[in-house]
Structure 1
Amino acid sequence: FCRSLKCKSIPGSYARMATDLGELLVPYMPTIRVPRTGDRVFKSECAFSYDSPESEGGLYVCMNSFLGFGREHVERHYRKTGQSVYMHLKRHVKEKATGAAGGAIPRRRNGKIFLDLELNRDFNGDGYEYEDEAKLVIFPDHFEIPLPNIEELPALVTIACDAVLNAPSPYKKQESDSWEEEIQVSRHARSLRQQENGVRIPPSGWKCAKCEMRENLWLNLTDGSVLCGKWFFDGSGGNGHALEHYKETNFPLAVKLDTITPDGADVYSFDEEEAVLDPHISEHLLHFGIDMLQMQRTENGHHTDNHVQPRVSDWEVIQEAGLKLKPVYGSGYTGIKNLGNSCYLSTTMQVLFSIPEFQRAYVGNLQRIFDYSPLDPTQDFNTQMAKLGRGLLSGQYSKPPMKSELIEQVMKEEYKQQQRGISPKMFKALASNGHPEFSSNRQQDAHEFLLHLINLVERNSSGSENPSDVFRFLVEERVQCCQTQNVRYSQRVDYFMQLPVPLEAASNREELIAYESKRKEAEENMRPPPEPFEVPRKGTSPVTYVTMVP
């Protein structure tokens, strides 16, 4: 291990040698703490920016408050608090060397691997490796003590450093539920009574018993009925006969036929209105002649005997799958990473920071907000709003790859232009704190989140500009008594106005009425709904009108 101190070439700093690290650290020992239960260690995100250990300057973690700071902001924290000892974390991403046979040569990794760090880049794990570097840095002279230095450091410092390096993410609970909540066992699974009606389901060739559709088919586990699922907005799916059957019979559980494998199947509870687990699924399927061990699926997720083209998923339609999109970079073109069902947050914040009033209130006053932020900026709403606004608008996290990197990628036929983007975990944790819905990882309504956010903006704008005033307007209501003809006026403040569009007011009223007539006729005759039609508008691309079916 290194026994000397070294100083990086930072302006105003100078090098000093020392043979006794313990003696050097004695004046700072009262400020170095070991993280206790409940302490949050921010070792993957700066409190004022989206810098991380992968950033060029790495991340500095205060050894007293355990807050993380990028190189641009650590000096501010030192001047404000007088805390001198920080742990500097730096992650180096390197391409693995290849041997004569073309395989990757195993490489020794230096230092500890910070297991809880989120990778900000989209590297293939098989072709790259990560080397993590840690050292203690003493301000203001930037003395550096490489870690580990177990034999040289005082025991308290060694314990504190080890605890920081091994601390879990402060968002661990949220991350564990990222994309969906844990699926629970259905309350109907153990007590399900199956009818002895002699129904046997073949291993392939399924179709809906009511409309003869051959995709999105569900097997009711009580009576063995094979029926289609709901209709999707892109015109695919089914006619909702499985749900209708439940409303008529109250038979609660159904399994999706093309998901059955020896490992399990997708089960849905109409009564509980969610996907569930059925511990006895093999027995329930065997009752209707289906042996799970004999069911196999192809790569596209469908059984080899049932040649049905899989429908394009809702997500693929929204993402414009199959279309060649040109990536854009720079100020105002920074993406937000999905934290797990957090699209509502991303869209809301992108829209807000496209509004000049919000840009001026937070990004325009960023330096003042940061300078007057409290000792724990992770809990200050204005600080986190300014941080998010700057992350979206500065272009710092939306830079195109270097020319040399592009040439290398093209030569390797691995050309993938991708934004680094930002991951607003700290903002989400603060904005949703104490809210029963937004603090969960369930899907949420963007309009409801916007109302919640405006409330936070107003609450934290006392004595300063309130950017949410841009939405604020006064609604006057007039109520007249039919008998006395007396009139009463009342006023209320509102932020959004709903604009319902009646069918009679549509410019293409005839087409819409014809479509509705065809759709109702298709429902009555148990046929698929008609194709949506397009109405070309002058100077624009054709607009598709679709009637949504619940």
Structure 2
Amino acid sequence: MSTTPNDRVVETAAKSLDDDDVVLEMIRACAHKNQCYSCGEDESVVDEKIVNDECAYTFASPFVLSRGEKEQQCRGIFVNMKTRRAVSRKYLRLDSRKTNRQGLYLERRFRKVFDDVKIEEEEKEEKRKSTPITKLGVGIHGGFEEEDFAKPKYTVAKDERIVVYDCERDVILAGMKVDFEKDRQTEEARNDDASSKLPTVVFECAKTISKKEGYDAKKDVMASWEDVPNVSKYSENLVQVKSEGKTRISPDPKTWKCFETGETTNLWLNLSDGVIGSGRRHFDGSGGNGSALRHYQSEKTKGNEYPLVVKLGTITPDGADVYSYAADEDDAVTDPKLAEHLKFWGIDIMSQVKTEQTMNEIQIDKNRTFEFDAITEHGKDLREVSGEGLIGLRNLGNSCYVNSVVQVMKECANVRKVFADEKQKEHVFETGNSGGAKAIENDPLAQTVKLFSSLTSSEYARTSEELSDETQKKQDLRGLAEGLAPRMFKRLIGEGHAEFSTARQQDAREFFEHCLEKFDKWQKDGVRESRFFANEHAGGVALSSISSEFQFETLARTVCGSSHKAKFEVGSHTVLDMCVPREKAVKIETTKEELETAASKRQKKEGEEDAPAPLEVPFATCLETFTQESIIEDYYSPAIQGKTFATRKTFLKTCPNVLALCVNRYYVGDDWRPTKMDCVVNVPERLNIESMRVDEKKDVDAYELLPEDVDMDANAAANAAPAANEITADDAIVAQLVAMGFSENGSKRAAIATSNASAEVAMEWVFAHSEDPDFNDPPVTTMDLSKDVDKTNSVSVEAISQLESMGFSSAASRTALRVSGNSNSVEAACEWLFANMDNIDDACAKAERELEEKEQAGGDASSTNDTTTNEIIDGKGEYELFGVVSHMGSNTACGHYVAHVKKNNQWILFNDEKVAVSESPPLGLGYLYFFRRL
């Protein structure tokens, strides 16, 4: 029996692993067997993407622990020189097996080398104290303090080897150290460095992997919270007119005053006609009287478009605060010709000195004195903690919304059961597609399991000794470059989504619901593909879907004002929305001192007024708004076959295991923009919502039902409920939008246009269409896509038409609709199409094959014999608070999120990487609250 060169090398290696010639022969043989290509010279034969600094299965990085024998427990990683993906030692065998016994890897072990850490930290602390806050952000230059982002400087010592790995025996047979900084062609290198004799193709491949910029090297910068103003379209051709007697503005600030009230602060100069007016009043009562806006509106009625105003006192050579009152902008803007426009009024921008706070500075001060300090417990020496469930997450740049939601969701029992169980994790990894780490990197189920299992284990926790030793703590001895960074998870959870796929800040509530939708899908796919360990056993218990823990039903009762007959509608939700009635806000007097922090008790600036006392809206009042009756005008009643009024009231029909409650502090201002109320809503730690539950006898049985099908004459039919294949506005969605200040017709239009998806989706439509000329006109009903179906493939013909209008082929559209499991879900189909855009033909062919196989097996695209349960769970409505996601900033599209989680009867603050015991959890300033049933 003949033996291969590789077999002979393995036999020889057992005798002389220290022999460089033997190691070289082993590497050559392994490279020949595995066809290792040089990704530096032949890009056509390999995937351009290289992941060289994070294991696909774990959060292991090239960095090793920095002391003693623990160096042998290296967290270094091994980069597969065929797939160019990294794995930890623990999953080296699995990666090799999944890549056809690949045996050639680049081992990477890094070590941080610190120098004079204590001196450096003292210098940084002094510098930090002396640096004024000028930017609305955390961890950015000029932003709020965040110790976690003030990392000590260090150099990186690298140790890299090309190793030969035997998958069968799970051993590293040999390795050769390589230094990619040296010139291997010199005479000295050829004589003294055995790696200079490595095959060029192997060396160049390893060098390219080593030199490739990794995830960490890309400098995931913590983004600013600020909204970046757009350039005003009115700037280029701005009309400027000098009125009689007004040719210039006085350079003396003492002479500036509002033309209407005589106020001398918060003044805005209209760049078109030179009128000085007062700015708008803030929600807390501070600010101006709005005369500048009224002047613009007055001129608008005369046919004059004078939209741009600049805040006096903020003008410097670097710019100024500029605002556009134009309806199609109505926002802070940038004026590229500001110097020219100011010069028209005799103002030399180069000689101006700032005397007033900019709008950004005003917001910074508000955050410093109230919201930011209270939520992050700024100024307090919080005790850091670490352990199972106490692992922080790195901010990838506006990813705090991801971190905060994940930190709370990991506390839910079903999330842990599905995504954090150790046996489940290993089985998910084992059943992944071929390709090893390369496949796992793009496997959403695997990456979700990776994230939650890491957060709930102690693998990445600091020891008590490390936490107590300040020097060690600053050196981050966990072996990670910068902490756990959920990059792969964030990419996959946002893939195909217009917002979550970007680096912009997002609404944590919307992301939470997006997570539930994705988790259910990934879990369902995993169960169908037998990727969960429980399904390997006959009669195994089915896994409940993640969303089922949060789902509850509401019952909306609409009572005709004339006949007193009622109709009832059941709705399914995962978040209980609580509106905050602005008119109920009162100033806090007795608790003001309790809310102040050391940072807010700073020495006031000269002339600075006391910050207004924070406002409070009682939580009981918010509960009342949910169940109180609302009036529906112009209601068509089938009982009287005519128009009348109706009352509407919503009850809880069921109570979930985990109650997610959203305190909606956002309202639509006079400018149609979402605005945040700076107020306290003291949500209790114990909550009983049984009073909100429907009483079947009193609330349902006591009413006679409104008729559904009645004979009507032609005139009545014209005003009656539309035919079954038409969409009418959901009364519940309309009521919520009307309560926020939108017109009834506009709200109905939004509900119909979004197919009654939800109030949040309808609100997005309103923001995009509020300036449409027909926005407030009576709505026109639209066809329900689900009624017109292609019988052959059970998909909506109208949905296919919509997708075709977006540029997709008919065949791809039909496949996407079938794969989505909903024949008329254009949104779900779009998400699938965009996710597979790079190779749409192959993706469609594969999907069709899978669909055909399922149909032949007696299933279809949307249901299988082995699936998750998604029943509505009901129980007693008594809860205890265990998690809070809080938001700081003017609206949910900017700002910063943190989470507070209650563990072992104490509250823990999760502020990205920082995990510490909370002394004063800001339960009155939260955005999302999570309760578990008692």
TM-score for the superposition, normalised by structure 1:
0.71
Write the distance in 2 (CA, Å) between the matches of 1:129 and 1:174: 16
The answer on 1:339 being equivalent to 2:396 is yes
Structure 1's unaligned 5+ residue stretches are 1-11, 99-103, 105-119, 513-526, 538-542
Structure 2's unaligned 5+ residue stretches are 1-13, 66-74, 118-122, 124-147, 185-195, 300-304, 528-541, 590-608, 620-678, 683-888, 892-934
1:134 is paired with a residue whose SS is: strand
Task: Return the match for 2:249 from 187, 195, 200.
Answer: 200
1:41 is paired with a residue whose SS is: coil
The answer on 1:50 being equivalent to 2:107 is no
Cα contact 2:494–2:501 (8 A) shared by 1: yes
Report the CA distance between 1:408 and its aligned residue: 4.7
Q: Closer, same or farther in 2 for the Cα pair 1:309/1:469, shift >3 Å? A: closer
Residue aligning to 2:205: 160
Matching residue's letter, 1:18: D
Cα contact 2:520–2:547 (8 A) shared by 1: yes
Cα contact 1:327–1:417 (8 A) shared by 2: no
Write the distance in 1 (CA, Å) between the matches of 2:495 and 2:420: 23
Cα contact 1:61–1:88 (8 A) shared by 2: yes
The answer on 1:278 being equivalent to 2:327 is no
Write the distance in 1 (CA, Å) between the matches of 2:378 and 2:292: 29
Report the CA distance between 1:79 and its aligned residue: 3.2
Q: Closer, same or farther in 2 for the Cα pair 1:417/1:311, shift >3 Å? A: farther
- Show CA shifts across 1:207-242 (max 9, x none): 773677777665543344555656667776666666
Higher normalized strand content (fraction of residues)? 2
Q: Closer, same or farther in 2 for the Cα pair 1:167/1:201, shift >3 Å? A: farther
Report the CA distance between 1:501 and its aligned residue: 7.0
Residue aligning to 2:756: none
Residue aligning to 1:63: 81
Write the distance in 1 (CA, Å) between the matches of 2:20 and 2:476: 48
Report the CA distance between 1:356 and its aligned residue: 0.8
Residue aligning to 1:496: 575
- Show CA shifts across 1:60-110 (max 9, x none): 222222222233333331233222222223332212379xxxxx9xxxxxx
Look at both structures and tell me which one has the larger radius of gyration over its CA atoms: 2
Matching residue's letter, 2:247: G
Residue aligning to 2:703: none
Cα contact 1:136–1:146 (8 A) shared by 2: yes
Residue aligning to 2:441: 378
The answer on 1:132 being equivalent to 2:158 is yes
Task: Return the match for 2:92 from 74, 77, 85.
Answer: 74
Map of 1:431-510 to 2, 5 A cutoff?
A: 431-462=493-524, 463=527, 465=543, 466-476=545-555, 491-500=570-579
2:161 is paired with a residue whose SS is: strand
Cα contact 1:400–1:417 (8 A) shared by 2: no
Q: Closer, same or farther in 2 for the Cα pair 1:72/1:337, shift >3 Å? A: same
Cα contact 2:587–2:613 (8 A) shared by 1: no
Write the distance in 2 (CA, Å) between the matches of 1:510 and 1:368: 56
Report the CA distance between 1:363 and its aligned residue: 0.6
Residue aligning to 2:237: 191
Residue aligning to 1:517: none
Map of 1:204-353 to 2, 5 A cutoff?
A: 209=258, 219-224=269-274, 251-255=306-310, 260-271=315-326, 272-273=329-330, 275-295=332-352, 311-313=365-367, 316-317=372-373, 318-353=375-410
- Show CA shifts across 1:32-77 (max 9, x none): 2417486322223221222222344223222222222233333331
Write the distance in 2 (CA, Å) between the matches of 1:245 and 1:323: 47
Counting matched residue pairs gives 488
Residue aligning to 1:394: 457
1:69 is paired with a residue whose SS is: strand
Write the distance in 2 (CA, Å) between the matches of 1:264 and 1:503: 35
Cα contact 2:250–2:256 (8 A) shared by 1: no
Matching residue's letter, 1:451: E
Residue aligning to 2:660: none
Write the distance in 2 (CA, Å) between the matches of 1:286 and 1:549: 33
Q: Closer, same or farther in 2 for the Cα pair 1:241/1:89, shift >3 Å? A: farther
Report the CA distance between 1:429 and its aligned residue: 0.5
Cα contact 2:236–2:337 (8 A) shared by 1: yes
Cα contact 2:409–2:415 (8 A) shared by 1: yes
Identity, % of aligned pairs? 28
1:284 is paired with a residue whose SS is: helix
Residue aligning to 2:414: 357
The answer on 1:430 being equivalent to 2:492 is yes
Q: Closer, same or farther in 2 for the Cα pair 1:23/1:502, shift >3 Å? A: closer
Cα contact 2:466–2:472 (8 A) shared by 1: no
Write the distance in 2 (CA, Å) between the matches of 1:13 and 1:66: 31
Report the CA distance between 1:354 and its aligned residue: 0.9
- RMSD, matched Cα: 4.9
1:313 is paired with a residue whose SS is: helix
In terms of mean alpha carbon deviation, does 343-352 or 160-169 score higher? 160-169
Write the distance in 2 (CA, Å) between the matches of 1:533 and 1:263: 36
Matching residue's letter, 2:429: F
TM-score for the superposition, normalised by structure 2:
0.45
Residue aligning to 2:613: 531
In terms of mean alpha carbon deviation, does 139-148 or 246-255 score higher? 246-255
Q: Closer, same or farther in 2 for the Cα pair 1:403/1:446, shift >3 Å? A: closer
2:90 is paired with a residue whose SS is: coil
Write the distance in 2 (CA, Å) between the matches of 1:190 and 1:94: 54
- Show CA shifts across 1:432-456 (max 9, x none): 0010011122222222212221111
Report the CA distance between 1:549 and its aligned residue: 11
1:283 is paired with a residue whose SS is: helix
Q: Closer, same or farther in 2 for the Cα pair 1:358/1:296, shift >3 Å? A: same
Write the distance in 2 (CA, Å) between the matches of 1:422 and 1:214: 51
Matching residue's letter, 2:307: P
